C-alpha cells in the first residue's frame, strides 16, 4: 500500500474510540468539554449500545485529583452554608420516606446504599426504624464521616471489590452514583445478583437528553468531567434495565435540589473563565474561588434573582420528561426480562 493510500484511509475513516461498554467502534464525537483544571475532554456516543462516555478515559491519577477532598466539602458536611446543607437534608429525608413507602414500612428490610457518601440518607432510614443498613463508599473524607455511624455496615471500597450474598437485599439505592461507575454493565449485573426477587432499585442520574444538557453541552453543570464517566438517555436506560430483569415502577423528573441550579450554574459557566465557581463557593472550596470574589457576588445575585424562573422551567421540563436529572424506581421481576432488540 502506498503512503498516499494510507493517508486517504485515515482521512476518510477518522479514528474513533471503542465504546468501553460494548467494544463497538460505531462511536461518534458529540461535543467538547473541560474540567475545573481546564483540562479538555470530549463526550462520545456509542451507536451500538447508546451509552455516552467521556473520552479520553481519565487516568487513575486524574480521577484521584478530581476526587480531591473539596469534592465532598470540608469538615462534617458537604456544603459550607448551613442553610444549603439543611435544604439538601430535606431531600435526603424525602428519599428515606420514599423508600419507607416502597418497602411497605417493613423495617426489618435489608438496604444497601451504593455510594452512600457521608451516610446521611442511611441515617434518616435508621431514624425511620430500619436497622439492616449497608453502605459502600470509596476511601476518603466522605467514608470517614459515614464510618462514625455505628448503625451502618460500611464497606470502604468500590462496588466491584465488595461481595454480598445473592438475593440479600430488599432495596438497593444509587443516588447520583451510576454516572461515576467505570463499568455500569458490571454494576447492574452485581445489583441484579444482590437484590431479592421483588426487590426495589432506586437510582438517579443526570439526564443527558435534558433541555439543559442540549442547550449548554460542554458547559452543563451535571456533565462534571472527569468524575462523570457515562450517561444514558432515560428511555434507553429503561430498555436496558428490562434486559436485566427490572420493571419500571415510576420515574421522577422534578428535582428542586438539582435541576434549577443546573441551569443557573451552566449559564454562569458560559460567562466565566472557570466552571462551577458558584457551586465550588457553596462547598467552601476557597483555593478554587479566592481570586474570583468580585465576580462571585454577581453570580450569587444572578442565582438569587433567577431561581424562581428556573424552578418554573424545571416544572415545565419535567412535564416533557426533559429535566436535568431523573430518578427511577425499578422492581426486580424476572417476568419483565426482555431480550436485546
Q: Which residues bind Zn ion (CB under 5 A)?
A: 19, 21-22, 24, 46, 48-49
| Number of Cβ within a 10 Å radius of residue 7 | 10
| CB 154 to Zn ion: min, Å | 33
> Cβ closer to Zn ion: 48 or 65?
48
Residues facing 231 on adjacent strands = 52
| CB 247 to Zn ion: min, Å | 24
> Cβ closer to Zn ion: 16 or 24?
24
| CB 50 to Zn ion: min, Å | 7
| CB 12 to Zn ion: min, Å | 23
**Is residue 223 packed enough to be buried (19+ CB in 10 Å), middle (13-18) or exposed (0-12)?**
buried
> Cβ closer to Zn ion: 230 or 318?
230
| CB 168 to Zn ion: min, Å | 30
Residues 6+ apart with CB under 8 A from 25: 16, 18, 19
> Cβ closer to Zn ion: 27 or 289?
27
| CB 46 to Zn ion: min, Å | 3
Cβ-contact 116, 136 below 8 angstroms:
yes
- Spatial separation of the C-alpha atoms in residues 84 and 88, rounded to whole Å: 6
> Cβ closer to Zn ion: 21 or 178?
21
| CB 239 to Zn ion: min, Å | 14
> Cβ closer to Zn ion: 228 or 292?
228
Name residue, grid cell 425511620: 128
> Cβ closer to Zn ion: 48 or 144?
48
Residues 6+ apart with CB under 8 A from 209: 233, 234, 235, 322
Provide DSSP, 149-183.
-TTEEEEES-TTT----TT-EEEEEEES-GGG-S-
Residues 6+ apart with CB under 8 A from 77: 85, 118
Residue among 57, 79, 60 nearest 225 (CA) = 57
Amino acid at each position: 500500500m502506498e503512503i498516499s493510500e494510507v493517508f486517504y484511509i485515515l482521512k476518510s475513516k477518522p479514528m474513533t474510540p471503542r465504546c468501553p461498554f460494548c467494544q463497538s467502534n460505531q462511536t461518534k464525537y458529540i461535543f467538547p468539554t473541560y474540567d475545573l483544571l481546564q483540562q479538555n475532554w470530549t463526550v462520545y456516543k456509542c451507536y451500538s449500545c447508546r451509552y455516552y462516555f467521556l473520552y479520553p478515559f481519565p487516568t487513575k491519577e486524574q480521577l484521584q485529583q478530581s476526587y480531591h477532598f473539596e469534592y465532598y466539602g470540608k469538615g462534617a458536611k458537604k456544603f459550607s452554608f448551613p442553610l444549603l446543607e439543611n435544604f439538601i437534608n430535606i431531600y435526603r429525608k424525602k428519599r428515606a420516606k420514599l423508600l419507607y413507602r416502597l418497602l411497605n414500612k417493613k423495617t426489618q428490610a435489608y438496604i444497601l446504599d451504593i455510594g452512600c457518601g457521608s451516610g446521611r440518607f442511611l441515617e434518616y432510614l435508621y431514624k425511620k426504624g430500619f436497622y439492616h443498613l449497608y453502605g459502600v463508599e470509596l476511601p476518603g473524607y466522605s467514608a470517614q464521616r459515614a464510618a462514625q455511624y455505628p448503625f451502618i455496615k460500611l464497606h470502604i471500597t468500590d462496588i466491584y471489590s465488595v461481595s454480598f450474598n445473592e438475593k440479600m437485599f430488599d432495596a438497593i439505592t444509587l443516588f447520583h452514583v451510576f454516572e461515576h461507575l467505570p463499568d455500569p454493565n458490571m454494576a447492574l449485573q452485581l445489583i441484579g445478583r444482590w437484590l431479592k426477587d421483588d426487590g426495589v432499585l432506586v437510582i438517579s442520574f443526570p439526564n443527558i437528553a435534558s433541555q439543559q444538557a442540549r442547550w449548554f453541552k460542554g458547559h452543563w453543570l451535571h456533565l462534571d468531567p472527569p468524575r462523570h464517566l457515562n450517561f444514558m438517555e432515560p428511555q434507553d436506560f429503561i430498555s436496558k434495565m428490562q434486559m436485566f430483569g427490572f420493571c419500571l415502577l415510576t420515574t421522577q423528573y422534578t428535582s428542586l435540589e438539582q435541576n434549577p441550579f443546573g441551569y443557573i450554574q451552566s449559564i454562569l459557566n458560559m460567562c466565566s473563565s472557570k466552571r462551577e465557581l458558584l457551586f465550588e463557593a457553596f462547598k467552601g472550596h476557597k483555593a478554587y474561588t479566592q481570586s474570583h470574589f468580585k465576580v462571585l457576588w454577581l453570580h450569587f445575585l444572578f442565582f438569587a434573582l433567577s431561581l424562581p424562573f428556573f424552578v418554573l422551567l424545571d416544572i415545565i421540563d419535567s412535564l416533557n420528561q426533559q429535566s436535568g436529572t431523573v430518578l427511577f424506581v425499578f422492581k426486580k421481576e424476572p417476568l419483565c426480562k426482555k431480550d436485546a432488540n
